Structure 1
């Protein structure tokens, strides 16, 4: 029977007990800190640590983060003994902060920032100074299944952040800065029926049902359902959202077999959404950010989207120390919209706005089979992992001429005093729809990976070696009608390459509480094709290889953990030499950083989460050396996120919360002439938990985001300016039945 091993900090390998000194539970107030919790299956009554399914690793002291996280093909690993920088944020933190989307939650990590406006249709991330779009968010370890625009958290148990390139553990392309993985909820042994009602200013109301039960003589069968609906006006002028989420998770846990099936559906309809694609012309002084409640979008603009997903996973213990597994899924996302974006013209905030429409459908398919085994060869322990995976991402769009849609021309506006087009300016009745488009591009990735974690000296020294071979195929198709010689649907682009990406990582457990780690890992990006204007036009280049070197320390004090990481990530890119007119992959960006973080409960009743990141991100090689040595646009030198909770002694059940978020100044342009000011945001809150006579709690929560209503540019990454959210009030009541 599947269970979280709550008393054993080290799983037994071939009947041998793990090292001593790690088995003591640390009780601090109401929190119990367990140094290592491994999700295990049961085979003939013995623990099987090669399993990953069931309840995830137990929460650490304070309950806001987990003791372990999933590392792709490596399986579940304890955070303290992982040779990477990884954090698993829990559903308790999701509820207590009233987080609705992944970006709401990742704001707790100073190395992760949202670079899309909060009132747009999407989340988009900057991790360690590199873009990681929501399209690259994993769902239960698989790519292209999560909502490619915005993932809602009602059906999510954990949000795991693995920082640094992840081609080794997860495969796929991009994600130079890191990977976000969503862990779905599973039915617990205790029955759950929880209803939560929410309010968010100006007038958004919502209801969320969380239902879980286990059935069968030993609770083998589990059902977890989450359904939510919310809608109403936001703090942004003219902006109204409607969100519906349904997530069903089924699971089975037997002696040797475990299986799960997840089905999710969500919709997001937005009136007058903000756009990601807001920018400024070169050379001007970047104006101060406007009031966060000012909306430049006209009231008739809209963005409507739907997402459907199905995912399954199964494990079978062929031996007490060996598990084989298979997982797969499919998703479909559709969006229809009419939205505007602006380009700032001067420091007074004058701008030019224009409308755009580009309906699209994004489909994802993903699958993986693999094996995990633990065994000894003499004094050396092994954790062997083998994985074969395949994923396909398809994008459908176009097949129409934008100029034929009757969109009005660009018009003048101002970011402080917007100009709104009158209702009826656009006739949307003849717009193409997302369910009737042609294939625009697809990306197919096939990979084989192998790794072995060798343990020496009673697990004092852990060495992970391995790599992943990937074959990449990328295609593009013509979607613009009107050219008889080049019909819609004809392929206009084909790229296929393969490469092996090695990895090595090590952990040295200096004491039972202190560990030092180091790693070398890579990310892979499909190679470019030289542009037609270059001397070597149409030359196809091998995949880009981006690498990271990282060293770090993790110090576990039982009820709270301190970590420090020092890293360097080198990202290659291509450009055309202005003298020779030859296109080559000679560009280079180097991000060096120091991350200091803390989580847990250092004092009974006081919990902390967050830290500070210091970053030196530079352009090392640019076309003609023009920008060599300049700072990378959009990457602050200092970023802080620190969240705290305090259980008041004067009111039993009352907790006060607060968070400070700071973003250092950045440059908008590569020439480093357009500076964006730094900013500080303060969030405050409180919650009260009342336990009724039947033992079921009622929880009241109140949070105020951006208490002082700071106006700020939250991001200047990728050539876009993203305004911060205004002061926002959130209230919720949760009742367990």
Structure 2
């Protein structure tokens, strides 16, 4: 069994010297920048081997490989998150709004997808239906795609649609643009960055078996196995596997999903390395899809979320495999050289149609099609991270270069005529077949993203003032091909320098005041063929953010507040001249309040509220200037709570859980004539922890959308997304 340890007090970790007969591996503890943890004291006189206690391996502040620091009080979020090239930083010393959701929270909430995890974050909404086989997000009102999710700091590794959670230790979310920190992602997300931290073998053995049930008959089993070997437990292996299949809460829909992952690691005196292999496959029948809506009429009321408007013979299949390696070497006690490389391959087959609603009465059309997509990606980074001092100023400096090479293929073939149906009374037609159609995806695009970056965090007055300065040069080279002839149709090449500056002030020990200016970067693209300047190539689009905030650490409860403004240019066509340009602009402002931790013994809270103001500031011909941005609500509220029942503690531990999610109304169109209403989703649950024959057993039960509300969840990206139907979850987990 692995004992859960939470960081409660903000204690600084001083340098420790260990005297021993000879220099030994993993006996070089030193302070991690920004890490607040319990002080570790080592004996100064070496004792006989039989009497020496194992000293936990401490990764130096210039490294990132190793077990994440202890979670914050309550165990639901981390005290530290990865801040891109800056490395691991304590959340209270980080000049950005970041949260790292832990494996314990993932298990306790029976989360199967990243979307399930982001239900705890008021700054995040999903723009993909829950049972679609896809993950997509809106962070601070801007879209973030699943293909832009990072794996251990690297883009291009995770599944392009729905990365598996079973091999993941933490889901980290950084709100806002992050071009300096992570570089440009494959699609260039600017609302935020999601980084997945893979599981590693812990010092204590892990053998955990979990069985689960999701209504209306989706049953699965997962195994988590971890061991360390060798002198000082230098070698580690962690194996995760899961398979589930069966009916979902939606009519005649079945979801089959399997994943297997192996994580190897080595931790020596100065050298550390990891290797990750993974494979996942999904077979989803009658998948839920987003909807599009014609203009000119009110958006219909949401139908029952258990009704499936897709055809029973539609399907989505995906196949994804990846390998990634990371290594770092301590040149001395102050400088670490690091590098990483990864490769992934994905293949997807969609067979079905996307609904287009044509009337306020719920009429819609759908054009069934076979869509095949392939992606082959390579990615890597090399960097040097170090610490030094100049007079009274301490420096934490990093120099890094990254690269991403991606080949994408796609092919779409319509199958039969469009289908006319209704949201409330769907029409199901005779099955159509993709037999005889090509399932190959000819090359449609090649992308090369390259960058070089440097950043320095300077601190004075015992780390009460921290100033970060940095910049990243980025080159973007995209080649688009005609999928029939293979000829090059366009090749936009862009480059840009994206600077950043961030400041943290600590007037008292537990209070951090911060501010940042940082940019995001996306491809400029080309003008459409119908414009007066067809295929004109535009420079990379730079998104700018200004943010200020405060964070207070009560030791057992953390509270943060952040205010931000993000401006994003976008493409528009002048209605008079028909000239396309990147002169449009959307501006999102917001105020975020977050809390996490243990408000009282046995009572934990997680969540907060985000107030957003999304405005179209520059539109084509000024027609929609000043209108509310599409898919940006005024208020997003998420609050999750747990309470341990004190009268059950003699035989075990019983815990009640509840969550409330609220989203205010959202506009679907630029003219603000079509709108979806606000909605409130309520979840409840319970778990019981006990022992059987000395083995820890955890039983969990939960109901999502307990009141069975039918609602539209979001209108982000111009798509109408159905909400989450009432869903029952049960699981049992035992540790051997």
TM above 0.5: yes
**Other-structure match for 1:731:** 730
Q: Which residue among 101, 113, 118 is the counterpart of 2:125?
A: 113
Contact 1:11 1:49 in 2 (8 A): no
**Other-structure match for 1:248:** 262
The reply to whether residue 397 of structure 1 matches residue 410 of structure 2 is: yes
Superposition pairs of residues 372-451 of structure 1, within 5 angstroms: 372-398=385-411, 402=413, 407-423=415-431, 426-433=432-439, 436-451=440-455
Contact 1:589 1:618 in 2 (8 A): yes
**Cα distance in 1 for residues equivalent to 2:96 and 2:36:** 23
The reply to whether residue 577 of structure 1 matches residue 565 of structure 2 is: no
Q: Report the CA distance between 1:13 and its aligned residue.
A: 7.3
**Other-structure match for 1:78:** 90
The 1:245–1:328 alpha-carbon spacing in structure 2 relative to 1, beyond 3 Å, is same
**Other-structure match for 2:21:** none
**Cα distance in 1 for residues equivalent to 2:519 and 2:269:** 38
Aligned residues: 701
The 1:732–1:21 alpha-carbon spacing in structure 2 relative to 1, beyond 3 Å, is closer
**Cα distance in 2 for residues equivalent to 1:201 and 1:22:** 41
**Cα distance in 2 for residues equivalent to 1:459 and 1:84:** 17
Superposition pairs of residues 219-368 of structure 1, within 5 angstroms: 219-276=233-290, 278-368=291-381
Contact 2:212 2:219 in 1 (8 A): yes
**Cα distance in 2 for residues equivalent to 1:429 and 1:351:** 26
Contact 1:14 1:375 in 2 (8 A): no
**Cα distance in 1 for residues equivalent to 2:86 and 2:173:** 15
Q: Report the CA distance between 1:227 and its aligned residue.
A: 0.6
Matched position secondary structure for 1:105: helix
**Cα distance in 1 for residues equivalent to 2:559 and 2:58:** 33
The 1:8–1:672 alpha-carbon spacing in structure 2 relative to 1, beyond 3 Å, is closer
**Other-structure match for 1:508:** 505
Q: Report the CA distance between 1:463 and its aligned residue.
A: 0.1
Q: Report the CA distance between 1:12 and its aligned residue.
A: 5.0
**Other-structure match for 1:475:** 479
Deviations 1:599-653, CA, capped at 9 Å, x for gaps: 0001110000000000000000001100000011111100111000000112120
**Cα distance in 2 for residues equivalent to 1:248 and 1:205:** 23
Matched position secondary structure for 2:625: coil
The 1:116–1:22 alpha-carbon spacing in structure 2 relative to 1, beyond 3 Å, is closer
Q: Report the CA distance between 1:699 and its aligned residue.
A: 0.2
The reply to whether residue 620 of structure 1 matches residue 620 of structure 2 is: no
The 1:478–1:45 alpha-carbon spacing in structure 2 relative to 1, beyond 3 Å, is closer
**Other-structure match for 1:211:** 225
**Cα distance in 2 for residues equivalent to 1:339 and 1:666:** 28
**Other-structure match for 2:48:** none
**Other-structure match for 2:466:** 462
Contact 1:386 1:451 in 2 (8 A): yes
Matched position secondary structure for 2:626: coil
**Cα distance in 2 for residues equivalent to 1:578 and 1:45:** 64
**Cα distance in 2 for residues equivalent to 1:681 and 1:5:** 30
The 1:17–1:214 alpha-carbon spacing in structure 2 relative to 1, beyond 3 Å, is closer
Deviations 1:570-624, CA, capped at 9 Å, x for gaps: 0001212112333222111000000001000011100000000000000000011
Superposition pairs of residues 460-609 of structure 1, within 5 angstroms: 460-480=464-484, 488-609=485-606
**Other-structure match for 1:655:** 655
Q: Report the CA distance between 1:45 and its aligned residue.
A: 9.6
Superposition pairs of residues 34-53 of structure 1, within 5 angstroms: 48-53=60-65
Matched position secondary structure for 2:313: coil
**Cα distance in 2 for residues equivalent to 1:44 and 1:301:** 52
Contact 1:258 1:314 in 2 (8 A): yes
Deviations 1:312-369, CA, capped at 9 Å, x for gaps: 0001000111100010100011112211221112221111122121111112111000
Deviations 1:375-419, CA, capped at 9 Å, x for gaps: 111110000011011012221122x7x25xxx2211210011100
**Cα distance in 2 for residues equivalent to 1:95 and 1:692:** 19
Contact 1:10 1:19 in 2 (8 A): no
What 5-or-longer segments of structure 2 have no aligned partner?
18-28, 40-53
**Cα distance in 2 for residues equivalent to 1:507 and 1:533:** 49
Q: Report the CA distance between 1:61 and its aligned residue.
A: 0.2
Q: Report the CA distance between 1:428 and its aligned residue.
A: 2.1
**Cα distance in 1 for residues equivalent to 2:735 and 2:608:** 33
**Other-structure match for 1:717:** 716
**Cα distance in 2 for residues equivalent to 1:500 and 1:12:** 38
The 1:312–1:534 alpha-carbon spacing in structure 2 relative to 1, beyond 3 Å, is same
**Cα distance in 2 for residues equivalent to 1:46 and 1:382:** 21
**Cα distance in 2 for residues equivalent to 1:225 and 1:81:** 33
Contact 1:590 1:620 in 2 (8 A): yes
Superposition pairs of residues 157-236 of structure 1, within 5 angstroms: 157-173=169-185, 174-236=188-250
Q: Report the CA distance between 1:528 and its aligned residue.
A: 2.9
The 1:365–1:384 alpha-carbon spacing in structure 2 relative to 1, beyond 3 Å, is same
**Cα distance in 2 for residues equivalent to 1:194 and 1:21:** 32
**Cα distance in 1 for residues equivalent to 2:498 and 2:631:** 29
Contact 1:620 1:629 in 2 (8 A): yes
**Cα distance in 1 for residues equivalent to 2:490 and 2:36:** 57
The 1:584–1:20 alpha-carbon spacing in structure 2 relative to 1, beyond 3 Å, is closer
Two-structure CA RMSD over aligned residues (Å): 2.3
Contact 2:204 2:227 in 1 (8 A): yes
Deviations 1:19-77, CA, capped at 9 Å, x for gaps: 99997859xxxxxxxxxxxxxxx999997221110101210000000000001110000
Q: Report the CA distance between 1:437 and its aligned residue.
A: 2.6
Contact 2:6 2:73 in 1 (8 A): no
Matched position secondary structure for 1:470: strand
What 5-or-longer segments of structure 1 have no aligned partner?
27-41, 481-487
Contact 2:572 2:583 in 1 (8 A): yes
The 1:219–1:25 alpha-carbon spacing in structure 2 relative to 1, beyond 3 Å, is closer
**Other-structure match for 1:636:** 633
Q: Report the CA distance between 1:296 and its aligned residue.
A: 0.8
The 1:710–1:474 alpha-carbon spacing in structure 2 relative to 1, beyond 3 Å, is same
Deviations 1:219-266, CA, capped at 9 Å, x for gaps: 110010001000000010010010001010000000000000000000
Q: Report the CA distance between 1:693 and its aligned residue.
A: 5.3
Deviations 1:690-719, CA, capped at 9 Å, x for gaps: 03453x310000000000000000111111
